[in-house]
Structure 1
Amino acid sequence: MTKVMTYRGHAKAIAVLGLPLIGGHLAQFAIGLTDTVMLGWYGVEALAAVTLAGSYFFVLFLLGAGFGWAVMPMVATAAAEEDETSIRRATRMGLWASLIFAVLVLPLLIWSQPILLALGQEPEVAALAAEYLRVAGWGMVPALLVMVLKSYLAALERTQIVFWSLVGAALVNALVNYMLIFGNWGAPELGLVGAAVASVATQLVSLAVVVIYVLRSLPEHTLFQRFWRPDAEMFRRVLRLGLPIGLTNLAEVSLFAASAVMMGWLGKVPLAAHGIAIQLASATFMVHLGLSNAATIRAGTAFGRRDRAHLARGGLVAIGLSLLMSMLTIALFLGWGAPLVSLFMEPDDPDRPQILTIGVGLLAMAALFQLVDGAQVMALGLLRGVQDTTVPMVMAAVSYWLVGIPASYVLGFMLQWEGIGVWAGLSLGLACAGTLLMTRFWRRSIRKVAYLGGALS
């Protein structure tokens, strides 16, 4: 009889697995944060442009990242079943799907200016954002490949290399940014383009590090041997699981991208304040995301073993840890809003007072949606662990597109609450998603694992 793990045991296991993943996400986030801070020092127009460009890039990136996310539960389940062949097949076809997707969307990044103008952005900001994306867009290929390999390694509980590779990448990005944005150390001053070059270089370095590690530490999986050979059956499985994950990601990120577009309608100063506030909210979200990844892996292991008790207890502990993080974040955003926003601006910036006022208000709204944001990403992580992605995709689309985006527009423009109203709409969309997804996990997924376990006994 399998020994039931205690809640303390689950907490320890999630911490050991999740802390490096949280650190890795924070390091990944630091890459975008470095761009935001340094370009904020460079000028308000550059900050507004990179905020817009970053939202555009990540809409496409997170759609394609669904294939990498799919690899995580598939590998975790295969590892629990001691099926090394399926580990290799799933990871390899995840790389195939990601590479194909990156090539298909590359034209949308290289020629982005007409799309940004069609979205109603100021011509000057749209032109600068497009200039950034013409270079940074090439980083889509290595970024998505790294995503797959990170998921593969995390599912095998090799999270330390994921963490350290991303820390190294963040350091490379900061150094190249400092050199090329401002023209330091004898380099040309490239501004936005310098930040884009740094981002691409960082993604390439990350890919090289992870590939070398896989080749040296996990030769038994022979991931890249005869890589060119197709595997139609596994490719379909990756698509079936990964495409709904990608569309779920798209639904969520499009909510935030739409908020950036709406803030752009209010002007470059509100958009710059939005960029600062969203960076700070994203930093705390990385903790929830790392816990969600750990929950996916733990749920995938329980799914492979058909262990209902392991899934239920692990889910409760992961959700509890996310709730604790939400409480800490609420206190931070409400108590230290002004100092946090001030970090992103030069003291003598003429727009500083207005950006500070708007940014502090947006951070107060961000504090309000911490609980529901954490709830929805934890539920998604647990559902992905049991390979339940299609219905959650529909729930996410309804929550973000039919509730969140319309609510942001109505509150922000029809009721004239402006930026506060846009962010209130975000909160409503996230609350709807959190409620629906949590209900699905506890009402269906636990019973599903119990049924599969009984069928095999």
Structure 2
Amino acid sequence: MPNSINAQLTWGQELRATLVLAWPLIIAQVAGILLFTTDVLMMGWLGPTHLAAGTLATSLLHPIFLGGLGVVTATAPMIAQAIGARQSRSVRRTVRQGFWVATLLAVLIAPLLYNAERLFLVLGQDPEVSALAQGYLYFAVGAVWPGLLIVPLRSLLQSRGNTTIILYITVAGIFVNALGNYALIFGNFGFPRLELAGAGISTSFVNWVMALLALLFVLFHKRYRRFHILVRLWKPDWQRFRDIFRIGIPIGLTLMAEVGMFGVAVIMMGWIGTNQVAAHAVAAQFAAIAFMVPLGLSQATTVRVGLAVGSGHPEGVRKAGWTSLWLTLAFMAATCALFLLAPGVLVQLFLDPLKPENAISFGLAIAYLGVAALFQLVDGAQCIMGAALRGMSDTRIPMVFALVGYWVIGLPVGYVAGFTFGLEGVGIWLGLASGLTVAAVALTIRFALRERLNLMSKAGAAG
């Protein structure tokens, strides 16, 4: 079984167990990024200004949303450890309190997104681009609550080894989003032409569809309905509520640190010009698509490590972590080669090089993609090692590593290289690469020293 834990599992058996659990999650993550890719693709059809506006909007939306998602993601190791210890009641309570946390975070996030235009202007962004970005966010804010509510449900499904349903729901979301975008952005099927606002409406609608599908599955499938996750939903469990924040806030800040680094890179690109922002959007999109494989694998890694911790098997922790790392490095080596060998083929999927208005953005995107190739291995490594540590509920020190790597090193290096040394966008991307490298090295060393640091025992005590 994919969620089995055995101290005597061979490396080959661990590899198989990880892949069985991970492959639907990986495809679901790739499918998930295709939701956003559809938005970027259709925004690009509106022109470079609209593409820049959509990119600016998501440079704020994604870090804030992922910060909230990271907090609720604390339910994943908590549920996995409870299942490993055969504590069904603990599973039920964690899911319920995950809903509470998701609701509170959605209420806190909404005002920030409703006032985004003011922030963009303060940060020196183009007024027209800022106004268009706010038009998207007015409606995309509706995606935050369902996007967070689905996380505890996904954590439960992952920990029970049932990941294919997550894939099916995400694939369904792609088709719904594509149709919604086509109808509302461009005014097809009798709908009004709403452009970026239409993309925001479609994004919110599809997140509600996916959240409701996941909820219905958990409520009515015989394997999960015994948890009765909605019974006494209003009943507080303050200790577990606090535990989610205790474990989850560092996870959220870690995700915000990385995504925020890329978001600030968009701001710095905006100081250079709209073409640079559009080129950055394309290159970052391919880097994000590649990252979905280690991201999906990392979710399985957290579950595998969490199950081993809950059942008291240090050898299971070791094999789960290193197996996932080598799988990730093998895949990211392939994407590195692709970015180096065929950047033009990739970029023309978003920007037509035959159109004169795309010429500058096209050339810049190819250059940025070349730098992205350099950090593929370390990007995958920092993702997997962070997930392995999360499986042991070790989140605070990894958060510090992320903050230092991304914000103390990555962004300053990018600023100096881009503006002091005149490398502009390429310099900013070199800064991103340096930040990811520092985080990857630090997280890998911490996982390697997990027994000396007594991390597994601390996780067991926390659970």
TM-score by length of 2: 0.95
1:110 is matched with 114
After superposition, give the CA deviation of every residue in 1:354-397 in whole Å (9 maximum; x if it has no partner).
Answer: 11110000001000000110111111000000110011111111
Q: By how many angstroms is 1:345 displaced? A: 2.2
> Quick check: 1:276–1:341 contact (8 Å CA) kept in 2?
yes
1:229 aligns with 2:220: no
Q: State the distance in 2 between where 1:450 and 1:209 align.
A: 35
Contact preservation (8 Å) 1:318, 1:378: yes
2:340 corresponds in structure 1 to: 334
Once the two structures are overlaid, the 10-residue window that deviates more, 255-264 or 180-189, is: 180-189
Q: 2: distance between equivalents of 1:156 and 1:269?
A: 46
Amino acid at match of 1:414: T
The 1:445–1:390 alpha-carbon spacing in structure 2 relative to 1, beyond 3 Å, is farther
Q: Which residue number corresponds to residue 181 of structure 1?
A: 185
Q: 344-353 or 107-116: which moved more? A: 344-353
* Aligned residue runs from structure 1 range 365-444, under 5 A: 365-444=371-450
Gaps of 5+ in 2: none
Which residue pairs with 1:307 in the alignment? Answer: 313
Give aligned pairs, total.
Answer: 455
Asked if 1:83 corresponds to 2:87, the answer is yes
Q: 2: distance between equivalents of 1:54 and 1:449?
A: 36
Fraction of identical pairs, as percent: 40
C-alpha contact (below 8 Å) 2:154/2:166 kept by paired residues? yes
Change (3 A) 1:403 1:226: same
Structure 1 residue 152: Cα displacement: 2.2
In 2, the alpha carbon distance for the partners of 1:385 and 1:65 equals 16
- Listed as ranges, the gaps of 5+ residues in structure 1 are none
Distance 2:212 2:27 in 1: 20
Say if 1:75 and 1:156, in contact at 8 Å, map to a contact too. no
Cα distance in 1 for partners of 2:332, 2:359 equals 28
Alpha-carbon distance change, 92 to 347 in structure 1, aligned in 2, over 3 angstroms: same
1:3-54 Cα shifts (integer Å, max 9, x gaps): 5111111111111111100111111111110000011011111110111111
Query: Which of residues 362, 368, 372 in structure 2 aligns to 1:362?
Result: 368
Deviations 1:322-343 (A, max 9, x none): 0001110011111110011110
| More moved, 240-249 vs 446-455 | 446-455
Deviation at 1:425, TM superposition (A): 0.2
CA RMSD of aligned residues (A): 1.7
Where 1:226 maps in the other structure, the secondary structure is coil
| Higher mean C-alpha displacement, 368-377 vs 62-71 | 62-71
Equivalent position to 2:252, from 246, 249, 252? 246
Deviation (angstroms), 1:451: 5.5
Question: Which of 191, 209, 212 is equivalent to 1:208?
Answer: 212
Alignment of 1:125-274 (within 5 A): 125-217=129-221, 218-274=224-280
Q: Does 1:58 align with 2:68?
A: no
- Looking at structure 1, the residues matched to 309 and 450 of structure 2 have their Cα atoms a distance apart, in angstroms, of 13
**Residues 378 and 416 (structure 1), Cα distance of their counterparts in 2 relative to 1, 3 Å cut:** same
Distance in 2, Cα, partners of 1:20 & 1:54: 26
1:24-63 equivalences under 5 Å are 24-63=28-67
* Distance change >3 Å, CA 348–CA 364, structure 1 → 2: closer
CA distance in 2 between partners of 1:329 and 1:110 (Å):
37
Structure 1 residue 274: deviation in Å?
0.3
Q: Distance in 2 between matches of 1:3 and 1:226?
A: 38
Sort the Cα spacing of 1:2 and 1:195 in 2 relative to 1 into closer, same or farther, 3 A: closer
Q: CA deviation at 1:449?
A: 6.0
Query: Bigger shift: 147-156 or 258-267?
Result: 147-156
Amino acid at match of 2:32: Q
State the Cα distance separating 1:146 from its structure 2 match.
1.4
Task: Provide the C-alpha distance between the structure 1 equivalents of 2:210 and 2:115, rounded to a whole number of angstroms.
Answer: 26
Within 1, Cα distance between the matches of 2:344 and 2:324?
31
Q: 1:92, 1:158 → 2: CA distance?
A: 19
C-alpha contact 2:7 2:316 (8 A) present in aligned 1: no
Asked if the contact 1:59/1:257 (under 8 Å) is kept, the reply is yes
> Which residue among 329, 351, 370 is the counterpart of 1:323?
329
Q: Amino acid of the residue matched to residue 277 of structure 2?
A: L
Identify if the C-alpha distance between structure 1 residues 154 and 446 changes in structure 2 by more than 3 Å, giving closer, same or farther: farther
- Structure 1 residue 92 and structure 2 residue 96: aligned? yes
Distance 2:49 2:151 in 1: 31
Per the alignment, residue 73 of structure 1 pairs with 77
Name the CA distance, whole Å, in 2 between partners of 1:291 and 1:139: 24
Alignment partners' CA distance in 2, 1:316 and 1:108: 39
Could you tell me whether the CA contact under 8 Å between 1:308 and 1:446 is conserved in 2? no
Alignment-derived partner of residue 12 in structure 2? 8
The DSSP-based 3-state class of the residue aligned with 1:444 is coil
CA distance in structure 1 between the partners assigned to 2:145 and 2:302 by the alignment: 25
Further displaced range: 169-178 or 64-73? 64-73
Distance 1:170 1:55 in 2: 21
TM-score by length of 1: 0.97
Closer, same or farther: CA 429–295 of 1 in aligned 2, 3 Å:
same
Change (3 A) 1:354 1:444: same
User: Which 4+ runs in 1 deviate beyond 4 A?
Assistant: 449-455
Q: Which segment is superposed worse, 374-383 or 137-146?
A: 137-146
Q: What is the distance in 2 between the residues matched to 1:212 and 1:422? A: 45
**1:416 partner SS:** coil
Query: Per-residue deviation at 1:251?
Result: 1.1
- How many Å separate the matches in 2 of 1:453 and 1:54? 35
One-letter amino acid of the structure 1 residue matched with residue 236 of structure 2: P
CA–CA distance in 2 between the matches of 1:2 and 1:10?
Answer: 9
One-letter identity of the residue aligned with 1:31: L
